[in-house]
Amino acid sequence: MLQKKYSILLVEDEENLQEALKLNLELEGYEVSSSFDGASALKMIHQEHFDLIILDVMLPSLDGFAITQSVRLQHIETPILILSAKNTSANRVQGLKFGADDYLTKPFNLEELLLRVSKLLRKSTSVPTSSINEVYSFAGHQINFKLQEAINVKGEKIALTKKESMLLQLLIENKNTVVTREKILQLVWGYKVYPTTRTIDNFILSFRKYFEQDPKSPNHFISIRGVGYKFQD
């Protein structure tokens, strides 16, 4: 018997499957909130505490991988279980790389799902372990994502805002790859009503001022006209 009423967010757009999963989870004693699309799920994650998030990958408005990335960029350590019909090893690796704790392919055995849920909930009540690297160094600079601060090559300490820290982490995680403006707005701001793209430009200008030897001729934070931005160390 459960001694604590664990709270689970279930995000699944297939109505019959969502109802069946919700019923079986509630029969196990869990408190279940549900959502049919990615954008509303992300808002719920921002507004409420959950002990576990169960995510489908193929969702309206924002897919499960994007939600996972956004959650981890904000240093929310809630365990995430991904459910997906995408059953290749590449898909599983992608989900785990983005920060999911477990990945279960459809169709799945209900008993196996419930066992995995129980295991992840035990993990959520244990001492949390570090996910991705909390400290990243490049070209003599050091960024501490957990403390939201950086020390540049000159030894100057820079206090980072939450959004600055999230954007830096996103760019660094995608090192040498162009990250589109749309993806940045989706993952860092997480809403359909986006700030203007000039907002991102201003963040990039700040990064250049913090970390570039010559901000007017950047080597690390590169703008790709009409597409997005790229970090290279």
Domain-located, residue 132? no
For residues 15 and 96, state if they share a domain.
yes
Return d(Cα 166, Cα 85) in angstroms, integer: 29
For residues 118 and 24, state if they share a domain.
yes
Domain-located, residue 106? yes
For residues 37 and 114, state if they share a domain.
yes
For residues 119 and 167, state if they share a domain.
no
Quote the strand ranges of 29-184, DSSP E.
31-35, 52-56, 80-84, 102-105, 135-138, 141-144, 149-151, 157-159, 179-180
User: Which pTM value belongs to this model?
Assistant: 0.63
For residues 174 and 226, state if they share a domain.
yes
Tokens 């206090």 -> residue: 159
For residues 61 and 112, state if they share a domain.
yes
**Sheet containing 228-231, strands listed edge to edge, beginning at the edge strand earlier in sequence:** 179-180, 228-231, 221-224
Measured over the CA atoms of residue 87, residue 115, residue 57 and residue 165, the dihedral's sign is: negative
For residues 94 and 203, state if they share a domain.
no
Burial 35-53 (b: 16+ CB within 10 A, else e): bbebbebbebbeeeebbbb
Could you tell me the CATH number of the domain that includes residue 38? 3.40.50.2300
pLDDT tens string, the chain, 233 residues long: the values are: 335 578 999 999 999 999 999 999 999 999 999 999 988 999 899 888 889 999 999 998 889 999 999 888 887 889 999 998 887 888 888 888 888 999 998 888 999 999 999 999 887 654 344 444 688 999 999 999 888 899 999 999 999 998 899 899 999 988 999 998 888 887 787 655 455 668 888 999 999 999 999 999 999 999 998 889 999 98
Return d(Cα 58, Cα 122) in angstroms, integer: 27
Return d(Cα 118, Cα 139) in angstroms, integer: 44
Return d(Cα 218, Cα 232) in angstroms, integer: 10
Domain-located, residue 97? yes
Domain-located, residue 101? yes
- What is the extent of the structural domain holding 22? 7-124
Domain endpoint, select from 68, 101, 124: 124
Domain-located, residue 226? yes
Quote the strand ranges of the chain, DSSP E.
7-11, 31-35, 52-56, 80-84, 102-105, 135-138, 141-144, 149-151, 157-159, 179-180, 221-224, 228-231
